[in-house]
Amino acid sequence: MLLLTPREKKLLRRLAQGKTDQQIATEIGGRKDQIALQRKSLIERLQVQSQEQLEALVHEFASYPERSVEKPERRWRPP
């Protein structure tokens, strides 16, 4: 089973929304060329052969709700 990093999930979700590399870079941070490289890496990890296959996978992924993981509140403790 392939596990995606949180950043890969963010990237995949935005690809599902049809966003450009520049829009994704603005939203999740980074440069347009970094996002393009991450997209290429994601294509290799997912073992898809074309942009069309990636888009089909992305749309399938988009149907799953995004889970929010809440971090526990950190409390200040005296030294």
Rounded CA-CA distance 13/66 in Å is 9
Domain count, the chain: 1
Domain that holds residue 45: 6-62
Per residue of the chain (79 residues), give pLDDT as tens. Answer: 578 888 888 888 888 788 999 999 999 999 999 999 998 888 888 888 877 787 788 777 766 665 554 555 666 777 7
pLDDT (0 to 100) of residue 67: 59
74 within a domain of the structure (yes/no)? no
72 within a domain of the structure (yes/no)? no
Q: Is 38 exposed, middle or buried (0-12, 13-18, 19+ CB in 10 A)?
A: buried
Tokens 């005296």 belong to residue: 78
10 within a domain of the structure (yes/no)? yes
pTM of the model: 0.64
Length of the chain: 79
Q: What is the CATH number of the domain that holds 54?
A: 1.10.10
Distances from the Cα of 9 to the Cα of 12, 38, 69, 70, 79, angstroms: 5, 11, 13, 17, 38
